[in-house]
Structure 1
Amino acid sequence: MAEKKLGSKPDQTDGGYGWIIVISAFFIGFITDGLVFSVGILLVELLEHFQQGRAATVAIASIMTGVMHLVGPVVGALTDKYGCRVVVVAGAVISCVGFVASTFATSILYLCLSYGLLAGLGFGLMYIPAGVCVIQHFNKRRTLANGIAVCGSGVGTFVFNQLTRALIDEYSWRGTLLLEAGITLQGAVLGLFLLPPKAKRLIGYDQNIETLINEGDSKSTSSNHNPLSNSSKAYTTNNKDEIGTDIEKTCFEIDTDIHCKEDASAGTSTSSSKLRTTLDSVLHVDLLKDFRCWLFLMSAFTFQLAFTIPFNLIPDQAIESGMTKHQAAWLTSSIGISNTVSRVCFGCLGDMRCINRMVLLEIILLLAGVSTGLSVLLTSFELKIIYTSLYGFLVGGYVTLCTVVLADLFGAEIIAKSFGLLMFFIGVSGFISTPLGGLLFDMTGKYDATFVVAGVEFIIAAFLLLLLKILSNKKRKL
């Protein structure tokens, strides 16, 4: 008997309104990542103003980065439930409030709560839905679209490092935060453009909800509704499955309710079923049963330990080595410039059939590790800016490919939850990465150990991806 098409799927044309989504996501990334990755300029001023240790002061940036990503699973669930627009608008308002509150800061602890916790929460609500919406609107050109969207991060890094420096010179750091609060609020306007893909009705799907319920009653209780266990396509590389729509979710909820009623009539406890449903609303439980998922998450965790070090600590390292504050700002701005170019290049490269995106990620991480570890030998401004430019190019490629590889491995239909899970692990790592780098400085009196450790962490992340690839290859041969 032919399978009934009880659902609709997005009309993913890889173009049209999808490019409006890309532009909106670009500017959301411009604001969020631009402000996050220019915090190193602000930290230099805070070190002078509050006269606290580096480990304590840089914790502000670490909390912001950590919270921004740590809320990933919750944001993924909220995005599924309320849509991208509502979540992004709420995030813009929350982050704006956090920036305004930070202008009244009287201590580092105050800033950890207002700038780190509150603004970081808002940024997480803005950043994650924008990335999810781009993935939902594109299939064949997904890597290119994602690459263009995340270019906002690179452009924002360049612009906000220069802008923050100029604003601090003119209005002090308090006035700068107030002006940046207004910029952050513009994310609410951008969020209004994040419409979901249009549902395209399939043949034979003109029934109403009552018909669906009747058909659901006749279905076998043995059918599996989990995308991960229902189709092996969700685990194959370069998966082209499209995202499920609200109508498909309705069918899932109807059928799930039927199963719960049948279990109750049989005298079976539904507590475990309710617990699983609750967990699935935030996480995708079957993802956590896949060892390959854990390898990917641990690789991302290790990557994040090293990722924020150059962004947040290079300005202070440059000043410690005798460079000016404006030269320090240009070092982080150069990361943004090369980062932008990289995301377009790797976006085009990742869509080529001859390119294995997983291998490309491994190469990127390996090169980032070697260059970061050796960067301690570069003491002049000219040599240091060569490293920062190379670093920006490499990590830009990683950010562009990471989300796409995630969809390749575990299916695009659960990208909101898998992306949220990834952000959670990155958030946990983000809490300890920069303070650990500052602590190494407090212990040794210089940043050499901080950057060498960061280089090693990049290499470990590459090794974990290599193990993941080997495991995936073995699974396909079985």
Structure 2
Amino acid sequence: MVVLSAFFQSALVFGVLRSFGVFFVEFVAAFEEQAARVSWIASIGIAMQQFGSPVGSALSTKFGPRPVVMTGGILAALGMLLASFATSLTHLYLSIGLLSGSGWALTFAPTLACLSCYFSRRRSLATGLALTGVGLSSFAFAPLFQWLLSQYAWRGALLLVSALSLHLVACGALLRPLSLAEDLAMGGPGAQLTSLLHHGPFFRYTIALTLVNTGYFIPYVHLVAHLQDLDWDPLPAAFLLSVAAISDLVGRVASGWLGDAVPGPVARLLMLWTTLTGVSLALFPVARAPTALVALAVAYGFTSGALTPVAFSVLPELVGTGRIYCGLGLLQMVESIGGLLGAPLSGYLRDVTGNYTASFVVAGAFLLAGSGVLITLPHFCFLATTSRPQDPVTEALDTRVPLPKEGLEEN
């Protein structure tokens, strides 16, 4: 049930974020603003989802993930509801960016951290299956949102997106927290945070994912606009995002299986997928023919989807499951810098140059830089005595401590 909850949660959070490029063109026309300013809507939402993750992690450590995720679902739906009444970009910054972004912050990190506590041997596959919700929803939401825009305009479409987001409450209700012996050995959130701040591999890994995050979302924000610059109609342009989403789905499952099957550090697979994603992004401006663009969309979808489950699987190997809530929250907070700056930088380059060529090339360069930092992680270049780095209390990973029937949130 935890995998099922994570599946729908990832669909309702990142499926909406990835399909938001459909609204981008509508907002530019409705508010007569430059692309850079409109890009801040998605960027603030992504940044809030990540920057607020430590809050969601800390609350989950104290109260358990269930009430935290349910509260996040209410905030995400409320933000979309208020956005439908917006009369300026500032309203959209506050409603979608700040309010919905805060709701996403309370849902994603606690759910993924809870999932990591349930699996120790097949963690990559479980994470990959859970995150296939992103690919399926991206495939469905992009054309669905485009159809809703054609039928109900952007205000009516946002009302229906709000109704979809409310289902995050049900996802939270499915979560049942586990208590591990390692949790007791690691101490409270303060002690865990202090140890993470002095953890060199975790610091370098955070830098790598921040660089990756800066360019990762650019196609989902600006690919539709780029295709319309090439005289594509809106619906086929949105459908290309769906093609990428299908490939993304396959990539997540394949990568999750490979992460558990291939010996050696999972970081090697992450570096491979990150490099290929960066190359595919940089090649988007070169493609002009529809077949070439479809091929690049398939390549980008597969590799960008493949890097996601292994990215979350590397973290428990670095910090241990006992610090996964704080580790994931802190990681998401720092990498929010990339999410905040990526889309506005891409929009700024579009305003300056008149096209999206520089935007996609720079996005690809950020991912290639992140893959370079991954090489510095422990045991990357040499085989260790074990295929998985060990934590001082790793043996506690599979030890389940029964919880009292009342007060599941108490340790």
Equivalent residue, structure 2, for 1:284: 193
Q: Which amino acid aligns with 1:147?
A: G
Equivalent residue, structure 2, for 1:244: 182
Deviation of 1:382 (Å): 2.2
Native 8 Å contact 2:56 2:107 kept in 1? no
Deviation of 1:469 (Å): 4.1
Instruction: Give the structure-1-normalised TM-score.
Output: 0.78
Deviations 1:141-173 (A, max 9, x none): 211111100111111111111110111111111
Deviation of 1:383 (Å): 1.3
Deviations 1:71-97 (A, max 9, x none): 111111111111111011100111111
Counterpart mapping for 1:7-156 below 5 A: 20-156=1-137
Counterpart mapping for 1:179-198 below 5 A: 179-197=160-178
Q: Residue 269 of structure 2: which of 350, 357, 360 is its match?
A: 360
Q: Verify: 1:166 aligned to 2:147, yes or no.
A: yes
Native 8 Å contact 1:88 1:188 kept in 2? yes
Deviations 1:212-235 (A, max 9, x none): xxxxxxxxxxxxxxxxxxxxxxxx
Long gaps (5+) in structure 1: 1-19, 200-241, 254-276
Deviation of 1:397 (Å): 1.3
Question: Aligned with 1:284: secondary structure?
Answer: helix
Q: Which amino acid aligns with 1:399?
A: T
Native 8 Å contact 1:369 1:458 kept in 2? yes
Give the count of matched residue pairs.
386
User: Compared with structure 1, are the counterparts of its residues 114 and 362 closer, same or farther at alpha carbon in structure 2 (3 Å cutoff)?
Assistant: same
Q: 1:243, 1:79 → 2: CA distance?
A: 17
Instruction: Give the structure-2-normalised TM-score.
Output: 0.90
Counterpart mapping for 1:68-467 below 5 A: 68-197=49-178, 244=182, 248=184, 252=187, 279-280=190-191, 284-467=193-376
Long gaps (5+) in structure 2: 387-411
User: Compared with structure 1, are the counterparts of its residues 322 and 362 closer, same or farther at alpha carbon in structure 2 (3 Å cutoff)?
Assistant: same
Deviations 1:173-207 (A, max 9, x none): 1001101111111111121110013x6xxxxxxxx
Native 8 Å contact 2:17 2:42 kept in 1? yes
Equivalent residue, structure 1, for 2:401: none
Deviations 1:107-159 (A, max 9, x none): 11110111111111111111111111111111112111111001111111111
Native 8 Å contact 2:264 2:383 kept in 1? no
Native 8 Å contact 2:2 2:175 kept in 1? yes
Q: 1:471, 1:338 → 2: CA distance?
A: 28
Q: Which amino acid aligns with 1:463?
A: G
Q: 2:365, 2:73 → 1: CA distance?
A: 36
Deviation of 1:368 (Å): 1.4
Equivalent residue, structure 1, for 2:408: none
Native 8 Å contact 1:243 1:414 kept in 2? no
Q: 1:427, 1:47 → 2: CA distance?
A: 24
Q: 1:333, 1:46 → 2: CA distance?
A: 21
Native 8 Å contact 1:84 1:194 kept in 2? yes
Q: 1:473, 1:413 → 2: CA distance?
A: 26
User: Compared with structure 1, are the counterparts of its residues 474 and 360 closer, same or farther at alpha carbon in structure 2 (3 Å cutoff)?
Assistant: closer
Please say which of residues 412-421 and 351-360 is displaced more in the overlay: 351-360
Deviation of 1:405 (Å): 0.6
Native 8 Å contact 2:265 2:380 kept in 1? no
Runs of 4+ in structure 1 deviating by more than 6 angstroms, as ranges, are: 474-477
Question: Aligned with 2:85: secondary structure?
Answer: coil
Deviation of 1:291 (Å): 2.1
Deviation of 1:471 (Å): 7.8
Deviation of 1:463 (Å): 0.5
User: Compared with structure 1, are the counterparts of its residues 436 and 243 closer, same or farther at alpha carbon in structure 2 (3 Å cutoff)?
Assistant: farther
User: Compared with structure 1, are the counterparts of its residues 243 and 113 closer, same or farther at alpha carbon in structure 2 (3 Å cutoff)?
Assistant: farther
Deviation of 1:356 (Å): 3.4
- Computing the radius of gyration from Cα coordinates, the structure with the larger value is 1
User: Compared with structure 1, are the counterparts of its residues 90 and 353 closer, same or farther at alpha carbon in structure 2 (3 Å cutoff)?
Assistant: same
Q: 1:243, 1:69 → 2: CA distance?
A: 28
Question: Aligned with 2:376: secondary structure?
Answer: helix
Please say which of residues 40-49 and 288-297 is displaced more in the overlay: 288-297
User: Compared with structure 1, are the counterparts of its residues 364 and 471 closer, same or farther at alpha carbon in structure 2 (3 Å cutoff)?
Assistant: closer
- Give percent identity, aligned residues only: 31
